[in-house]
Amino acid sequence: MVSLTLAPLGSIAKARATARWRGAGTAFGDKVQWIMRGGVPRAAVIRTWRRADDDEREIQELSLFAIDSKRACPFGAVDVRQLGANDLALAKAEEASGWHCEGQR
């Protein structure tokens, strides 16, 4: 099981996990793309690997997270095999940058 927590440095010890999934491969890519607004992170894109719930099939995605003033939350994912996956993930991250996690999907 993989757990990811996105939180301000001073509150990371008290923060709940932002997302959890059944990991596969390396679980995380080696980069995070941050979407900033006024010098503050408002969304993130992270390459992730997971296993599907019912089988051992490995899924590689660009996972999207919204970050508001109080917390971070999952916003969606883009299959890396999809044509234009990087551009689509960036567009969705821009959308996530205006999302409030209290009204999460």
* Model pLDDT, residue 105: 45
Burial class (CB in 10 A: 0-12, 13-18, 19+), 73: buried
pTM of this structure: 0.87
Averaged pLDDT, groups of 10, the chain, 105 residues long: 82 79 86 93 94 81 91 94 96 95 61
Q: Which two tokens stand for residue 32?
A: 């995070």
Write the Ramachandran bin of 90: left for phi over 0, alpha for psi from -120 to 50, otherwise beta.
alpha
94 CB-near residues (< 8 Å, 6+ apart): 35, 43
